[in-house]
């Protein structure tokens, strides 16, 4: 089963752009801090040097947050394809169009052909790996 991935693809694109922006900001802040640290006390105060150094650390943290958001967006996109842990046919799907699945909550009934020709029916929760 495949959930419409459009919104998840857009989220990945937005997260990629946020990573690029955060990376550029972090690099710029790092360069500014480095330039300020190389100046003498006559050109810039110690307080300003510390301000630029902390701004560089904040920008680096924002970059790391953007990378984590991108990773989460990619995971969510991969989860738009739901795979069953068993072979068979879904005979009673509880997931419907417009429903957002939650790990461990959605269940479906699947029938698996057996060697004797009869059908075995199993009811399994969707795991976090398959959502």
Q: Is there a single domain that holds both residue 117 and residue 66?
A: no
Domain that holds residue 25: 6-78
DSSP 32-63: HHHHHHHS-TTTS-HHHHHHHHHHHHHHHHHH
| Domain assignment present for 130 | no
Q: How far is CA 51 from CA 30, 38, 48, 58, 71, in A?
A: 12, 14, 5, 11, 30
Q: Is there a single domain that holds both residue 69 and residue 13?
A: yes
Q: Is there a single domain that holds both residue 11 and residue 65?
A: yes
pTM, two decimals, is: 0.64
In tens digits, the chain (131 residues) has pLDDT values of: 888 999 999 999 999 999 999 999 999 999 999 999 888 888 889 899 999 999 999 999 999 999 999 999 999 999 999 887 888 776 666 666 666 666 655 555 555 555 555 444 444 444 444 44
| Domain assignment present for 83 | no
Q: How many domains does the chain have?
A: 2
CB atoms within 10 A of CB 36: 19
| Domain assignment present for 131 | no
Which tens digits make up the pLDDT trace of 14-41? 999 999 999 999 999 999 999 998 888 8
């Amino acid at each position: 089963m495949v959930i419409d991935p459009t919104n998840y693809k857009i989220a990945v694109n937005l997260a990629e752009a946020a990573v690029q922006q955060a990376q550029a900001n972090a690099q710029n802040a790092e360069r500014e801090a480095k330039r300020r640290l190389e100046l003498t006390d006559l050109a810039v105060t110690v307080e300003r040097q510390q301000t630029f150094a902390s701004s560089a650390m904040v920008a680096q943290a924002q970059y790391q947050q953007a990378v984590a958001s991108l990773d989460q967006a990619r995971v969510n996109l991969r989860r738009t394809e739901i795979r069953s842990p068993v072979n068979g046919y879904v005979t009673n799907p509880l997931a419907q169009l417009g429903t957002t699945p939650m790990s461990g909550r959605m269940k479906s009934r699947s029938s698996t052909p057996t060697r004797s020709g009869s059908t075995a029916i199993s009811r399994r929760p969707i795991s976090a790996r398959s959502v």
